[in-house]
Structure 1
Amino acid sequence: MDAYVRPIAYRRVLGFVASLWMRRSGYFFLGLTLTLAATGFDLLLPWASARLIEGVAESADQALVWQSWVVLLVAFAGFAISRNLAHRLWIPLAARNMQTVLLQGFDHVLSAPADWHATQATGETVRRIRRAMDGYDAVTDATTIHLGPALVVLLGLIVMIGWREPIAGVLALLVALAFIASNLLVGMHWIRPASLQANATDSHLSGIVADVLAASVTIKGFTAERRESNHMEEIARLWGRSSATAWRRFVDLGLVQNLLLLLLLTGLSGVALYTWARGETGPGDVAFAVTSFLLMAGYLRGFGENLRVAQKGLEDAADALLLTALPREETREPVLVDLSWRGEVVFDGVSFAYPQGRVSVLNRLDLQIKPGETVAIAGASGSGKSTIARLLQRFYEPSAGRILLDGHDIAQLPLATLRQQVSVVTQEPTLLNRSIWENIAYSRPTASKAEVIAAAKAACAHDFILQLPHGYETQVGAYGARLSGGQRQRLALARALLVDAPVLIMDEATSALDPQTEAEVLASIAALRPQQTRIVIAHRPAAILAADRVVWMNKGRVSENSTSVLF
């Protein structure tokens, strides 16, 4: 959570937002032009109303009065029309750029290495991506639609007020400067730290909620609902305190700003009435002063509110920059290294320790698996069995030694090429919340119907699939929650078999099956791909007995090789 509290310079975030604007510069500049036109019409309103009231008060020619009335209506109509047209341009710009922020964030998260994902809460990451989108939108709206026009109107009003009455103009300038300075200085040095902390707790809260909901079955199984509710209450209380602190600071700043506006009203109206009492000005000047205050106060309030929105948006959009700074896995395109992959695997003096781990999981491991051989890797928990699978797919890199696939050092192969040759099924397979057909065909979307069904049959999944209400079109639910553990494992096996990779790794991939079904699945897999190299990480007898050779692991090294096992 500490990463959220470290601020990124506003100029970097603004540079990122501006780069998105320039991707669609036509929309941006036309929208900006129309927004400035609306601002100009808005600025005409005090002048037009003053002219109308002066004409009425002085009993001028009615034609001139009606003309002034038309000018007032035209000014407001021009404001309404140009502002509406500007918004019609801002909408597609915002929608497309928010899509860009979403896709960029999604791409960087998806490309992050396995050790990063292992330390992140999914809900927290989702919240960061969503907040980055909203942050871009808030910054864009605040700066282009509100803050920029507000500055133009305020400057124009100050000039017009000063032209009519220099003292009032100076007062208006000083109040406006104090108003803007209070927003900038107080916002940067007092409100921003509270906002950063509020963002941190907000992300943490989202991560906890997602984690708890994903484990709902486990929670219910241990009747831990009340315990989790109490834990959530503590997290929510922390979120409430940090958010309330940020909100109170916004309210305190609002009080300061209202006192400044009171000073502005006192000065403008007081000077106008004083000069009117002395006969130096007329009713139109008083009307101009009051109208100018109302317009100026509205823009100053809007400026303050939108500056806070922009500030909050900058903090949120900073999440997009944090995501772009994530480490990325290698993204080289797959290449054709060898036309005849055979599936030979060699671990040559491989050592490895997990990030932040104090003990090496593998210690100078030497292991050779011949093409087409089925090797069972057995041993006590923590002996390094599953690590072999992770290293072979390069989710992690060995600290020493090398791993060869058909004579090629896998560290030199593009990841996409390597992972096309090594298919893995884990003990806890991950299914997408889609249909059974989509989950099996996920490994090879171009596969034919016959190929998908053949893979399902080889995994002994075809029969139970046909018994489901919608067969292969049955939705599996979140993480495959609508299926049993054994059914999920068989679908994952079918998905892996569909790839027809030279090497298949099964990491406790049949642990949820009964012994008879497990034996049938292993035999069916061997029959479907007789030339495939299979690495079976297992404890259970059926999986081990189905192997050509058993490799026993102990403390990260091979302790024994055998071709038969006695239980």
Structure 2
Amino acid sequence: MARFKIDLRASAFRSVLGFTFSHWRRQPWRLSLIMGAFLLSTLADVLTPFYSGRLVDAVASGAGTDAVAWSAAMTAFWMLMGLALAGVLLRNAAFLGIVELTLKMMSDVAADAFHRVQRFSTDWHANSFAGSTVRKITRGMWALDLLNDTILIALLPSVVMLVGSTLLLGWFWPLMGAVVATGSVLFITVTAMLSLGYVAPAARLANSWDTRLGGALADAVSCNAVVKGFGAEVREEARLARVVAKWRLRTGRTWMRGTANGTTQGALLLAMRAAVIGLALMLWARGQASAGDVAFVLTSFFVLQGYLRDIGTHIRNLQRSINDMEELVDFQSEPLGI
């Protein structure tokens, strides 16, 4: 069973995020387009529950033959359709932009890493497995793709959704806004602490053994002619088995910690759901909320809950991508030599 140990060293996060932001600054207009499109599409999601509630109120206020009720229902309907269409178009524009952004960044990172590795000292190359070096570069490149998606596609819209929903609910019922804000902040804080301080250290160690495993496999295969010449196949298999056993132990511990993190998040969301739905029922019982208002609150919470549940996944993805890029970023501080 994984032992709980909080370790909040953030040097890896600072170095990797600083490295990523430096590449973002090379494409400022494209980055602005992506962020603006995602912000506006998320605002459409924030307003959707409000008009859903207005639609319920219109339907509950009278029959379809009532001109006033019909007009209110159709207004809410067309607003919902317009928000949905705007969200689709804006997200499509943002995705097209992030494809170009990420491809250019990955190309630049690969070229720069190869440029530096070629100029490292002969001693460095003599003491480094070629397979491990290749693994560090390729894993870091694909981790950059995940990092961009996590920050721009996932975390940024989630923060906008959280703030927007809290302000909108608080505008109608200050107590509801306070409950949603408190529960969301508590959820994000616990999730971040567990991901960065509990899962990340184990993931960092698992990645180091993943690098060793890749290096051991690559170098054993590339030197197969020498191994055959000495009849050392059994010895090489035993050596690889020891590396695989250690890799399995470290990776298993990381996965167990990730599972514990996910279970904790589920329990927090359950408590938050009970508080929000209970408060909505209390407001309805006191005559402070209509059927449409209850539908508005429930829809807002279920949309927000999806974003919050995903925030846990996004933070775990952020932690994983940071760990996967750490060794690639370390190449930037490695001195060049002959």
Shared topology, TM-score over 0.5? yes
Residue 52 of structure 2 is matched in structure 1 by 49
Structure 1 residues 321 and 167 mapped into 2: Cα distance closer, same or farther (>3 Å)? same
Does the 8 A contact of 2:46 with 2:300 survive in 1?
Answer: no
1:297 aligned residue (281, 286, 305): 305
Code of the residue aligned with 1:19 in structure 2: it is: S
Does the 8 A contact of 2:188 with 2:312 survive in 1?
Answer: yes
Tell me by how many angstroms 1:16 deviates.
Answer: 1.2
Residue 138 of structure 1 is matched in structure 2 by 146
Residue 228 of structure 1 is matched in structure 2 by 236
- Counterpart-to-counterpart distance in 2, 1:76 and 1:234: 55
Secondary structure of the residue aligned to 1:23 is: coil
2:158 aligned residue (150, 159, 166): 150
Show the 5 A alignment for 1:122-271. 122-271=130-279
Secondary structure of the residue aligned to 2:25 is: helix
Tell me by how many angstroms 1:150 deviates.
Answer: 0.5
Tell me by how many angstroms 1:223 deviates.
Answer: 4.4
Residue 372 of structure 1 is matched in structure 2 by none
Tell me by how many angstroms 1:120 deviates.
Answer: 0.3
- Counterpart-to-counterpart distance in 1, 2:298 and 2:236: 58
1:32 aligned residue (35, 40, 46): 35
Identity %: 32
Does the 8 A contact of 1:31 with 1:90 survive in 2?
Answer: yes
Q: Relative to total residues, which structure has the larger helix share, 1 or 2?
A: 2
- Counterpart-to-counterpart distance in 2, 1:16 and 1:194: 23
- Counterpart-to-counterpart distance in 1, 2:191 and 2:269: 14
Tell me by how many angstroms 1:219 deviates.
Answer: 2.9
Tell me by how many angstroms 1:42 deviates.
Answer: 1.3
Secondary structure of the residue aligned to 1:193 is: helix
Structure 1 residues 7 and 153 mapped into 2: Cα distance closer, same or farther (>3 Å)? closer
- Counterpart-to-counterpart distance in 1, 2:47 and 2:131: 50
- Counterpart-to-counterpart distance in 2, 1:7 and 1:238: 26
Residue 320 of structure 2 is matched in structure 1 by 312
Secondary structure of the residue aligned to 2:132 is: helix
- Counterpart-to-counterpart distance in 1, 2:267 and 2:10: 31
Does the 8 A contact of 1:264 with 1:293 survive in 2?
Answer: no
Show the 5 A alignment for 1:272-287. 272-287=280-295
Aligned-pair Cα RMSD in Å: 1.7
1:93 aligned residue (84, 101, 109): 101
- Counterpart-to-counterpart distance in 1, 2:23 and 2:109: 9
- Counterpart-to-counterpart distance in 2, 1:7 and 1:119: 28
Does the 8 A contact of 1:40 with 1:153 survive in 2?
Answer: yes
- Counterpart-to-counterpart distance in 2, 1:118 and 1:50: 68
Code of the residue aligned with 1:53 in structure 2: it is: V
Instruction: Encode CA deviations 1:324-359: one digit per residue, 9 max, x unaligned.
Output: 122213xxxxxxxxxxxxxxxxxxxxxxxxxxxxxx
Code of the residue aligned with 1:21 in structure 2: it is: W
Residue 416 of structure 1 is matched in structure 2 by none
- Counterpart-to-counterpart distance in 2, 1:240 and 1:159: 47
Residue 378 of structure 1 is matched in structure 2 by none
Tell me by how many angstroms 1:251 deviates.
Answer: 1.4
Does the 8 A contact of 1:135 with 1:313 survive in 2?
Answer: yes
Does the 8 A contact of 2:191 with 2:312 survive in 1?
Answer: yes
Question: TM-score under structure 1 normalisation?
Answer: 0.55
Does the 8 A contact of 1:268 with 1:293 survive in 2?
Answer: yes
Tell me by how many angstroms 1:221 deviates.
Answer: 4.1
- Counterpart-to-counterpart distance in 1, 2:133 and 2:322: 18
Does the 8 A contact of 2:12 with 2:322 survive in 1?
Answer: no
Does the 8 A contact of 2:44 with 2:86 survive in 1?
Answer: yes
Instruction: Encode CA deviations 1:471-502: one digit per residue, 9 max, x unaligned.
Output: xxxxxxxxxxxxxxxxxxxxxxxxxxxxxxxx
- Counterpart-to-counterpart distance in 1, 2:189 and 2:11: 21
Where does the alignment leave 5 or more consecutive residues of structure 1 unmatched?
1-5, 330-394, 396-567
Does the 8 A contact of 2:61 with 2:69 survive in 1?
Answer: no
Secondary structure of the residue aligned to 2:287 is: coil
- Counterpart-to-counterpart distance in 2, 1:96 and 1:103: 11
Code of the residue aligned with 1:48 in structure 2: it is: Y
Instruction: Encode CA deviations 1:411-443: one digit per residue, 9 max, x unaligned.
Output: xxxxxxxxxxxxxxxxxxxxxxxxxxxxxxxxx
Structure 1 residues 220 and 307 mapped into 2: Cα distance closer, same or farther (>3 Å)? same
Tell me by how many angstroms 1:277 deviates.
Answer: 2.8
- Counterpart-to-counterpart distance in 2, 1:120 and 1:81: 48
Tell me by how many angstroms 1:7 deviates.
Answer: 7.2
Residue 17 of structure 1 is matched in structure 2 by 20
- Counterpart-to-counterpart distance in 1, 2:222 and 2:86: 54
Code of the residue aligned with 1:262 in structure 2: it is: L
Does the 8 A contact of 2:176 with 2:276 survive in 1?
Answer: yes
Show the 5 A alignment for 1:113-512. 113-329=121-337
Residue 4 of structure 2 is matched in structure 1 by none
Instruction: Encode CA deviations 1:195-247: one digit per residue, 9 max, x unaligned.
Output: 11011001111110111111222333444434433332221121111112112
Further displaced range: 73-82 or 89-98: 73-82
Does the 8 A contact of 2:120 with 2:336 survive in 1?
Answer: yes
- Counterpart-to-counterpart distance in 1, 2:163 and 2:39: 13
Question: TM-score under structure 2 normalisation?
Answer: 0.91
Instruction: Encode CA deviations 1:427-461: one digit per residue, 9 max, x unaligned.
Output: xxxxxxxxxxxxxxxxxxxxxxxxxxxxxxxxxxx
Code of the residue aligned with 1:34 in structure 2: it is: A
Secondary structure of the residue aligned to 2:334 is: coil
